[in-house]
Amino acid sequence: MYGTRLRPLSTATVFALLGAFALAAWYAPMDADQGFTQKIIYVHVPLAIVTLCGFVFGGIMAIKHLRTRDPRYDLRSYTAIHVAQIFGVGALITGMIWARASWGVWWEWREATLVSFLIVFLLFATYQPLRFSIEDPERQARYASVFAVTAGAFVPVNFLAVRLADAYIHPRVLTTSGSGLTAEMSVAFFACVAAMALFYVTMWRFELAHKHTRFQLRALRRKLGGDEIAYGRSAAPQMLDSDLPAPS
Amino acid sequence: MSAPRTTSTRAAVGALLRKELLLERKVPQLIPAMALFSVVTFVVFHFGLQRRVLEGELAAGVLSVTLLFAAMLGANRLFVADKEEGGFDALLLAPVDRTALFIAKVIAFLAFLVLLEIVMVPAFAILLLGPTPSAAELAQLVAMLALADIGIAIIGTLVGALSIQTRARDLILPLIALPLLVPVIICLARGIAPLLADTGAATLAGRWPAVLGLYDLIFGLLAYAVFDFLLDD
């Protein structure tokens, strides 16, 4: 159930990304001030947007998990947050490269979006340590969901607070998207956001399929080798054999 | 014969709150430790910053950060007695609403923070603060501290309950709570900086208490909604 239609999805993702980057490279005009380095917004900003949406999505899956107690939702929430963390590293690195290229510094505290992104990223970085330090799998899933809901709600609140803190002190001349874009740039930009979102969904599906395959493999090995094959301790969700659908 | 007897949430909150305050009064543990920690932190800041007196943004930052770190110390201990002496089990056996524990803990933690500040703010004024705030500035400072305390108490209680069941509880708690409290620090430090400035006769910008109030409201409701899931075992 998890591994189906991965091939067409992957193909679509590759073409979408290639197409969106081609639009960004050739269709969108060169920025008058920054030249080619400005093109990094077609990677950096979509990465950041998708990361934040991924965190919120993980929180929504966590709400579903708390309501239904279905371990599959915990797995979806964990995977959503895990993939978003990887995208987040990419967003931070590309953001720092852009800051270095256009402002000459690796880090800019006055750029509210960058700072709030770092805070959210640091908060979600505690997700795996939290999971790992709870041994009982059921409790681990429940507590992780409580964390994911709280942290998911924190994302918009944090952005509001950090932006308020800055907007009145320093004028926001360094806008990252939206108002400063021409029509052609907007087309390329939104194409990149859509392609990046598709990339995220693909990665999410791949990790779900991978986790599910591992659970099933372990269930089969336990059937063959007896129960002495332990579940093992991990930060990732553990599905008990009884939670898995019967192998066909 | 009759419907199962349940205690109202208000009565349960009252009983739990009395227990917390009685415990702290009989065996003072949290407040002396937090107060001592805050004074020591002022001394550390004096040497770390190499300043004899502070004012404005620096004073606001030192006061907010010290409050936050002292509160982390308290949040770490908030549920220790319930975990080790069976307070959780007793609550789960009692026919009361479980969120009563959350409300009681938040109010108790809030009371501890207020008591901490009664020691901490005068100590700060004596040891480090340069300008003397006027009565109006002092009132605004107290209001901002109160709003920040509510947010800290809510997050401290939620994350304290979350981390008490983990193996590395005092490691996990500040890692989760500090990023969650960054908006509180932003509003508190930015809000009280003009009140502690040398220029005098400053007023508080309205947006800082507004954002703090919004933060308290959102996370209060959220924590109230999810706290139940941290208890049922």
* Whether this model's pTM surpasses 0.90: no
Q: Report the residue from A147, A154, A168 with minimal CB separation from B162.
A: A147
Residue A121, min C-alpha distance to chain B (Å): 9
Q: What is the pLDDT of residue A173?
A: 42
Buried b (16+ CB within 10 A) or exposed e, A170-202: eeeebebbeeebeeebebbbebbbbbbbbbbbb
Residue partners of B19: CB distance under 8 A and separation at least 6: B104
Confidence class of residue A168 from pLDDT cuts 50, 70 and 90? very low
Q: What is the pLDDT of residue B81?
A: 81
**Helix, strand, coil in percent for chain B, rounding step 5:** 80, 0, 20
The answer to whether B226 contacts A66, with C-beta atoms less than 8 Å apart, is yes
Q: What is the pLDDT of residue B11?
A: 85
Domain count, chain B: 1
Q: What is the pLDDT of residue B1?
A: 43
Residue A170 has pLDDT above 60, yes or no: no
**pLDDT < 70 stretches in chain B:** 1-6, 200-204, 232-233
Percent residues over pLDDT 70 in chain A: 85
Q: What is the pLDDT of residue A231?
A: 67
Nearest CA in chain B to A161: B183
The DSSP string of A79-120 is HHHHHHHHHHHHHHHHHHHHHHHHHS-S--TT-HHHHHHHHH
Question: Domain containing B212: what range?
Answer: 2-232
CA angle A49/A53/A55 to nearest 5° reads 120
Give the SS3 label for residue B130.
coil
Q: What is the DSSP letter of B199?
A: T
Q: Report the residue from A130, A142, A168 with minimal CB separation from B166.
A: A130
Residues B75 and B173 sit within 8 Å (Cβ to Cβ): yes
